């Protein structure tokens, strides 16, 4: 997936403030590092279901901390790394404490006609699957890509690709049904 993300020109100056709190105050208003866009890109690429705002907050904390300790980074790649770590931190926090899934997922539940808790459990179950399986599910079920095309893109057979997606579906169905709410 081609990235649409790019921070504003001269983005490093926002990271030269000194203390982490000061850096945070620089990068918070107006999101000059375009972290919201970066989060969207990396979450989609990693095929994760997480509260994007929580990811952005964690990423900001990590970036402020890192910049205060080591100074502005040499390249944008560091920002991408920190964002990916923030995504994994958020996923882990969600697995440890499903209640921390955030208002975003809770708000979706009524619209989809599904219980909030069931949806959160399903999200956790989804996030626990392997990257390959999540990508397959995401491509077929969420992005509605044709099977042959998606399988070719990920260099696997359509049957295997479909099986991976099926395994994810089974897992999230089981998670949703654990409390009987549907």
Interface with other proteins (CB under 8 A) = 19-21, 24-25, 28-31, 34-37, 39-40, 43-44, 49-50, 52-53, 56-58, 60-62, 64-65, 68-69, 92, 95-96, 104-105, 108-109, 111-114, 119, 122-123, 126, 138, 140-143, 162, 165-166, 169, 172-173, 176-177, 182
Q: What are the tokens at 53?
A: 């705002």
What is the nearest approach in angstroms of other proteins to the Cβ of residue 36?
A: 4
Name the token pair of 105: 């997922």
Cβ proximity to other proteins: between 13 and 30 the closer is: 30
Closest approach of Cβ 24 to other proteins, in Å?
6
Least CB distance to other proteins at residue 44 (A): 6
Distances (CA, A) of 93 to 45, 85, 98: 20, 12, 8
Q: Which helix (H) or strand (E) holds 88?
A: helix 77-96
Sign of the torsion angle spanned by Cα atoms 165, 166, 172, 176: positive
Q: How many CB atoms lie within 10 A of CB 21?
A: 11
């Amino acid at each position: 997936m081609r990235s649409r993300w790019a921070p504003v020109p001269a983005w490093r100056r926002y990271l030269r403030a000194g203390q982490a709190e000061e850096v945070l105050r620089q990068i918070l208003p107006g999101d000059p590092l375009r972290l919201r866009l970066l989060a969207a890109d990396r979450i989609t690429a990693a095929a994760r279901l997480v509260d994007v705002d929580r990811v952005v907050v964690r990423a900001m904390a990590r970036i402020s901390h890192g910049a205060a300790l080591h100074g502005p980074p040499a390249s944008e790649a560091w920002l991408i790394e920190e964002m990916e770590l923030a995504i994994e931190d958020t996923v882990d926090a969600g697995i440890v404490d499903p209640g921390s899934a955030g208002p975003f997922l809770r708000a979706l539940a009524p619209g989809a006609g599904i219980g909030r808790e069931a949806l959160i459990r399903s999200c956790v179950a989804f996030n626990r699957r392997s990257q390959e399986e999540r990508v397959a599910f995401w491509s077929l079920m969420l992005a509605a890509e044709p099977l042959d095309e998606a399988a070719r893109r990920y260099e696997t057979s359509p049957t295997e690709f479909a099986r991976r997606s099926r395994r994810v579906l089974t897992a999230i169905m089981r998670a949703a049904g654990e409390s009987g709410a549907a």
